[in-house]
Amino acid sequence: MNSTLISYSECVTQMLFFVFFLSSDVFLLTVMAYDRYVAICHPLHYASMMKWGRCIQLAGGSWMAGLLNAAVHTGTIFSLPFCSNVINQFFCEIPHLMKISCADSYLNEIWTLLFSCAVGIGCFVFIVLTYVQIFSTVLSMQSMANRQKAFSTCIPHLIVLSVLVGTILFTYLMPASISSYKLDQMLAVIYSVVPPMMNPVIYSMRNKDVKAALVKLFYWKI
């Protein structure tokens, strides 16, 4: 709406939903790694292991875990007193809210960082172990066609995961000495806008009709 103002309650709500969607995305990517593990390593048992009810439980669990993570972060941040009402960001982001806090936010930063790291590392380790099993199974396949099919199933998921995790790590682990207002905004756009925008493009590239349409469009433009 071309407005630079946001109320306190709107800021709380915005942060809650932002962390919720971001966390849920990470948890869903973790669940998708398990789905690919079952499909490739146990193809004959896939229908029995990934029933509709199990899929609902995994998706629901991801959303509940994301909501819990968002509630913890939002409650921790907004329990702090704030000395300023100016946020040098285009949305209510955790690091910038900590910068305008009056209280000594060191313990809050440590708690928030440790909790996020524990959740993120747990998901990352699970995905890595899952893909170790997947790649060992794929490399033992005799048929090249089966290998290509397995890789085509995993590559979109790995690309989406790499884009999301890479941009988040680069943003939050960047030294404060090289941080700047413009750079922070650019990085925030990259990790909050680019991964969701790229998701449908990456996943749709497996669709033959989409590929054919893109090729036709490309040649038509030339």
For residue 42, give every residue at least 6 positions away whose Cβ sits within 8 Å of its Cβ, in sequence order, or none.
49
Domain around 78: 8-221
For residue 220, give every residue at least 6 positions away whose Cβ sits within 8 Å of its Cβ, in sequence order, or none.
none
Q: What is the CATH number of the domain that holds 150?
A: 1.20.1070.10
pLDDT at 115: 79
Query: How many domains, the chain?
Result: 1
**What CA–CA distance (Å, rounded) separates 57 from 133?**
23
Cα dihedral: 200, 206, 210, 213 (round 10)? 130
125 in a structural domain: yes
**What CA–CA distance (Å, rounded) separates 60 from 70?**
15
Nearest Cα to Cα of residue 172 among 197, 194, 191: 191
3 in a structural domain: no
146 in a structural domain: yes
**What CA–CA distance (Å, rounded) separates 147 from 143?**
6
Residues, the chain, total? 222
pLDDT at 106: 64
pLDDT at 16: 94
183 in a structural domain: yes
- Tens place of pLDDT for every residue, the chain, 222 residues? 677 888 999 999 999 999 999 899 889 989 999 998 998 888 888 888 888 999 999 999 999 999 999 998 898 888 888 888 888 788 888 878 888 888 766 666 677 778 777 888 898 899 999 999 998 888 888 888 878 888 877 888 888 888 887 777 776 666 665 556 677 777 777 777 877 787 777 777 767 777 788 788 888 877
Burial class of residue 191, CB neighbours in 10 A (0-12, 13-18, 19+)? buried
pLDDT at 1: 61
pLDDT at 160: 82
pLDDT at 57: 93
Task: Judge whether 11 and 90 are in contact, CB under 8 Å.
Answer: no
